[in-house]
Structure 1
Amino acid sequence: MTTSDALLTEDADGVRTLTLNRPEAYNSLTVELKEQLLAALRAAAEDADVRAVVLTGTGKAFCAGQDLKEHVGLLQAKDPAPLHTVSEHYNPMIREITGMAKPVIAAVNGTAAGAGAALAYACDLRVAAESSSFLMAFANVGLGPDSGASWTLQRLIGYGRAAELMLLGRKVDAAEALRIGIVGDVVPDEELTAYVQTLAAKLAAGPTVAYSKIKHVLNVAAQSSLDGALDAEDAAQTALGGTADHAEAVEAFVGKRKPNFQGK
């Protein structure tokens, strides 16, 4: 495990776990933490030994979003930094998560609000602890959504529900998050870490090159016509048909054995 003041990084079984580590501040995002998380996401994307990524938090919160104390302090000091954090930090983080050629899982251990909730929405899979909740609180402080939430949330739950949660700033508990499609599973708090690590290890042992193409074609399809989606699928299948993982899967099927994927 590597440790910084604000972010913990641990590798096991091909899985890199990034843990936001400001529990006393509900893992709210200071400039320091945003810069560390962005660098960690980039490093995970580039490391061939990392085949799946988990994003989680310590304490009672997954991430409460922007650290408002720091934000207000900088604004009062006439520091322009808060005006650029979306372009310099939040947008690049979301692009790293959604564009990463490997699965990213959000293990939502508690409150996920604002940009913190948006980080979870951007992940490929979301597993929530029973005590967790989601809150789109931007309107409550006179702001609009950022960190890709306007794009990701409505693709998870539809325009109507996304608009309701953003306009009204209504908190969603874990049970409702599961019912409306924000998360894929809810587990007891004490089981979250083990459950997600098992899931992530399973993905890390899978055909990760195929996972990268699946993420790509889903993103293309979300923004294109049917013809565009068909073309993206065609290109992906052509490329994947020549991979070692596909050949291994075919050989394993014929040989009635479990495939040994290498992510190549």
Structure 2
Amino acid sequence: MSDNVAGGDEIRVSVDDRGVARIEIHRPHRMNALDGAASRVIIGALEEWSARDDIRVVVIDGAGGSFSTGADVIDIAATAGENTGGGLDPTQARGVISGGSDLARAVRGVAVPVVAVVDGPAVGIGASLAFAADLVYATERSYFLLAFINIGLMPDGGASMSVAAAVGRARANAMALLGEKLPATEAFDAGLITKIVADREALDATVDATVAKLVATSASALRLTKKALDAHTMGDFDAALDRELEGQTALLQSAEFQAAMAAFAGAKP
């Protein structure tokens, strides 16, 4: 029996009779990039599940060979194009970055374990979304990329904290300041993800086994353990989101970002 919560064709959301809640990003035409509407569906589901005692574990997955390539630039460019000069005004800029912050906050607001299932690229806010999870499983072909710097922006979705906390200052600086891609094998060696497997079939089997183990474990013990671990490892998460909100709001209005959007608009067929 499945309890369909919301979503549609692009964000598929369900809860089974074990209390396993699933979100599947299904926007293969955009490599699972998230526009405002898709993000709101995910946030709404996570917030609803955070208030339910029957939810035992949450799984976030991406279909079609990508986890998520980040914020949908077409969506941002369309918003910017509504204004004279093609830039974002302060309210629009804050709205764009608030969407990413709210997404990461919604993940962290779930009291039960959240599992990210990564097959392919996890880029920008897509990487931040994966890093906000408690357990991250990835295929060997997957990679993580904080691509913000390449278009005049900074990491958001809490990645400025979660990445540095996991991989250390030097590796985090390379990812954030240089926009360097981190293959799954290196992400595992650096302690950023839980486990890597060969392919999608092995990924599904591994996640299914993990979910079964979590469902069979005391729900109260899982919730209290997660809360205790978060107090030590994620204590600065809200402060990181606040810093990102301030910085990213300014950067989204910058000449550099406007030029990147103009170049993107010019490159579209």
TM-score past 0.5 threshold: yes
Aligned with 2:49 (options 44, 49, 61):
44
Aligned with 1:194 (options 205, 219, 240):
205
Q: With structure 1 as the length reference, what TM-score do the two structures score?
A: 0.79
Task: Please give the root-mean-square deviation of Cα atoms over the aligned residues, in Å.
Answer: 1.7
Aligned with 1:5 (options 9, 25, 43):
9
Q: Deviation of residue 82 (structure 1)?
A: 4.2
1:85 matched to 2:96? The reply is yes
Q: 2: CA distance between counterparts of 1:213 and 1:86?
A: 31
Output aligned runs, 1:200-215, within 5 Å. 200-215=211-226
Work out whether residues 100 and 212 of structure 1, in 8 Å CA contact, stay in contact via their aligned partners in 2.
no
Q: Deviation of residue 49 (structure 1)?
A: 2.0
Work out whether residues 15 and 201 of structure 1, in 8 Å CA contact, stay in contact via their aligned partners in 2.
no
Worse overlay, 122-131 or 205-214: 205-214
Point out 4+ residue stretches in structure 1 off by more than 4 angstroms.
Answer: none
Aligned with 2:62 (options 57, 71, 76):
57
Q: With structure 2 as the length reference, what TM-score do the two structures score?
A: 0.78
Q: Deviation of residue 133 (structure 1)?
A: 0.8
Residues paired across the two proteins, number: 223
**What secondary structure sits across from 1:220 in the alignment?**
helix
Deviations 1:117-166 (A, max 9, x none): 00010100100012211001000010011100011111111122111111
Unaligned runs of 5+ in 1: 225-264
Q: Deviation of residue 83 (structure 1)?
A: 3.2
Shift in alpha-carbon separation, 1:193–1:86, aligned structure 2, 3 A: same
Relative contact order (alpha carbons < 8 A, sep ≥ 6): 1 or 2 greater?
2
Deviations 1:92-119 (A, max 9, x none): 2212222321000001121100000000
Greater Cα radius of gyration, structure 1 or 2: 1
**What secondary structure sits across from 1:112 in the alignment?**
strand
Unaligned runs of 5+ in 2: 236-269
**What secondary structure sits across from 1:63 in the alignment?**
coil
1:153 matched to 2:158? The reply is no
Match of 2:128 in 1: 118
Q: 2: CA distance between counterparts of 1:37 and 1:193?
A: 21
Deviations 1:43-88 (A, max 9, x none): 222222210000011112101110001111211212653431222x
